[in-house]
Structure 1
């Protein structure tokens, strides 16, 4: 089971729904029965949290992508 976020444009509210990943693309309705749209979830990182350093060779750990050239 995964948690998905939805937005109801009629009510202008976001809500979460738990459903199997196989049902991720199915339509959802809000508590009032309006059609809701699935939205991308935002993940929070606490302010001041330490950020891990990228391994040598870039974030992919070996320079196999453009990330290595950005450093």
Structure 2
């Protein structure tokens, strides 16, 4: 289940909630009980090193199966 980050406008607390994507825009009360919150935009960092060799030719999939 995705985690969403919110900030309370009353006390300034930042908190996360796990909820279905369909409820991502639903109101969320802060842990102190304040109702005036806003959903924050989160950034996702993806990194890593691939151990697979890079395709040198063969089309979009690298295996030559694409026309």
Q: Same fold (TM over 0.5)?
A: yes
Query: Partner of 1:38 in structure 2?
Result: 39
Larger radius of gyration: 2
Flag the structure with higher helix content.
1
Q: Greater relative contact order (Cα 8 A, min sep 6): structure 1 or 2? A: 2
Cα root mean square deviation, aligned: 2.1
Query: Partner of 1:10 in structure 2?
Result: 10
Flag the structure with higher strand content.
1
Which ranges in structure 2 are unaligned for 5 or more consecutive residues?
Answer: 50-67
Cα shift readout 1:31-65 (whole Å, capped 9, x = no counterpart): 1111211010133579xx88xxxxxxxxxxxxxxx
Q: Provide TM-score, normalisation by structure 1.
A: 0.57
SS at match of 1:29: coil
Number of residues of Structure 1 aligned to a counterpart in Structure 2? 49
Which ranges in structure 1 are unaligned for 5 or more consecutive residues?
Answer: 51-71
Q: Displaced runs of 4+ in structure 1, greater than 6 A?
A: none
Q: Provide TM-score, normalisation by structure 2.
A: 0.59
